Structure 1
Amino acid sequence: MAENYVALLGTKGGPAIRPGSSMPTANLFCINGLQMVVDCGLGVTKGLVDQGMQLKDISLIFISHLHSDHYLELGPLIHTAWTAGLKTQVDIYGPVGIKTYWDGFLASMKADIDLRIADEGRPDLRTLVRMHDIDAGPVMERGGVTVTAMRTVHPPLIDCFAFSFKSAATHVVFSGDTAPIAALEDFARGADLLIHEAMLESALPALTKRVGNGSEKLMEHLLRSHSPADAAARTAANAGVKRLALCHLIPSDDPDYGIDDWHSAVAGYFDGTLIVGTDGVRIDL
């Protein structure tokens, strides 16, 4: 039987990186022999290589929404895979607008792509990628894995999705970015693993101060568009999931807050197995 696991490649909430910080959101789901990349924040390419993945084997990518910490490195990932030997179809599933990003990336790299085709004999990268706009409901079925999307609450964006990955043997749900919503409980009902974003409310004032170039709007966004850790835990408990992995951590790089704070925030709300995400951690399914 093929090895089934999820690797959290990047577990930081938000796009900024600083010395010593973790990397933004990216994941590798390996189920039934399918290797599926879920979100492509900065660092996804190295994260995949560090997991031992051959980039030329990339074939499936899912993007949850169009915030930069979830798709900034999509183009560079595919281009790097191409230089590493990619010659087969890549299917990318994401919100309306993802094709505009891809077309813009291709335009920005036209000189390099054309040169490598002519000078190195590579296949045309532009013919290898197939884009799929998604909506709530069925997304894809392949190799015994069914992928379904659910719209989340992450204002001001409308097209923001959670994903369910279900096979005969396992069920994994990725929350994407979302405020607490009851609908996610049904979406994740009985899952073997729920990967859910989380923030520590007590750490937010220090975070917004450290950012330095925002206004009170940043705090307003965090509070209306993301889930406190205790809310993520309640969702997991109400959904009856077996394991909860906290990711998209806000903050993930403040030395005044660590793993004990995340465990304390969840204590009393979820009594299953808790995993506080760190970059590169592999969760067996």
Structure 2
Amino acid sequence: MTDTDHVALLGTKGGPAIRPGSAMPTSSLVTLEGQRIVVDCGLGVSRGLCDQGMALADLTTIFVTHLHSDHYLELGPLLHTAWTAGLRTHVTVWGPPGLDRYWKGFLASLADDIDLRIADEGRPDLRGLVTIHPLEAGMVTHIGPIEVRALRVDHPPLTDCFALSFAGRKRVVFSADTAPFPPLADFARGADLLIHEAMLPQAVQALVARVGNGDGRLLRHIERSHTAAEDAARIATLAGVHALALHHLLPSDDPNFGPEDWTAAVAPHWSGPLYLGRDGLRIPL
């Protein structure tokens, strides 16, 4: 893998379900200033990282934006798989309150395997290799030369959902999942790349029908908790960012809606470089 600054969108589908031919749920890899940072761990993140040429044993830093399963379901399996692939150094995981419960539960569920591999294969104890730190609104931390900032966004019914800014010589901002949120424009001001979740409102009812085991509450959740592509474009323009990428697409797998629909939604409100998310897309910074 080249160390040139870039972001790889590993999984670009909004929501946890996968179907034949669909994209995978949300995960990304930020490569900046020689650091490689995983952002969200939806189903498929381990394969996505390998497809980018990254050795899982080289994991050092992971951020989870919020506790919806399409953003953290594969955190435990990723860390365990990295361990079986040779991980011997420490991994720091940042996430909202409650992520530590998930990690403890995952370790309990795999305790027999972990203990057996320590005794039978001489591996270091996975439980001592991972530290979970809480994300908080207004948080500022540093990963080597990279400054990381967190902003709480509007993703009901969750209260702990965080946009993230990663700044070195280049800066990339992730919106996380959010309803239209004007403060995000200030948070992303002047960034080289804004990666914003996006939905096509005209496709949402068909999406809910495909899910098949929800009711009107699912439709209401999507409509009140996510951002239409046109509103993501407005925020990018207000923020004066250099480029916009649409991520966590709702829908990502409806044959009746394609790239032209996303472009048409964005075009009246954004005139800069646009990247439409697809699994494996690498965006230079």
TM-score interval, normalised by the smaller of the two chains: over 0.9
Structure 1 match to 2:258: 258
Structure 1 match to 2:215: 215
Structure 2 match to 1:133: 134
Structure 1 match to 2:157: 156
SS in structure 2 at match of 1:141: strand
Instruction: Tell me whether 1:113 sits opposite 2:114 in the alignment.
Output: yes
Structure 2 match to 1:198: 198
Q: 1:59, 1:257 → 2: CA distance?
A: 38
Per mean C-alpha deviation after superposition, the further-off stretch among 131-140 and 186-195 is: 131-140
Output one character per residue of 1:127-175: Cα deviation in whole Å (capped at 9) or x when no partner: 00011011012342022100000000000000000000011x1010000
Output one character per residue of 1:182-233: Cα deviation in whole Å (capped at 9) or x when no partner: 1000000001000000000011111111111110111100111000000000
Instruction: Tell me whether 1:142 sits opposite 2:143 in the alignment.
Output: yes
* Correspondence 1:32-43 to 2 at 5 A: 32-43=33-44
Output one character per residue of 1:82-133: Cα deviation in whole Å (capped at 9) or x when no partner: 0000000000000000000000000000000000000000000000001101
Cα 1:280–1:2 change in 2 (3 A) is closer
Cα 1:132–1:151 change in 2 (3 A) is same
TM-score (norm 1): 0.99
Structure 1 match to 2:226: 226
Structure 1 match to 2:71: 70
Structure 2: any 5+ residue segments left out of the alignment?
none
Q: 2:196, 2:113 → 1: CA distance?
A: 38
SS in structure 1 at match of 2:139: strand
TM-score (norm 2): 0.99
Instruction: Tell me whether 1:86 sits opposite 2:101 in the alignment.
Output: no
SS in structure 2 at match of 1:137: coil
Give the counterpart letter for 1:284 in structure 2. Answer: P
What fraction of aligned residue pairs are identical, expressed as a percent?
Answer: 62
Structure 1: any 5+ residue segments left out of the alignment?
none
SS in structure 2 at match of 1:176: coil
Per mean C-alpha deviation after superposition, the further-off stretch among 129-138 and 117-126 is: 129-138
Q: 1:267, 1:249 → 2: CA distance?
A: 17
Number of aligned positions between the proteins: 284
RMSD: 0.9
Structure 2 match to 1:176: 176
Q: 2:146, 2:228 → 1: CA distance?
A: 30
Give the counterpart letter for 1:144 in structure 2. Answer: P
Instruction: Tell me whether 1:53 sits opposite 2:54 in the alignment.
Output: yes
Q: 2:3, 2:80 → 1: CA distance?
A: 28
Output one character per residue of 1:55-105: Cα deviation in whole Å (capped at 9) or x when no partner: 000000000000000000000000000000000000000000000000000
Q: 1:273, 1:75 → 2: CA distance?
A: 35
Shift of 1:2: 4.3
Give the counterpart letter for 1:278 in structure 2. Answer: R
SS in structure 1 at match of 2:4: coil
Give the counterpart letter for 1:56 in structure 2. Answer: A
SS in structure 2 at match of 1:208: helix
Shift of 1:235: 0.3
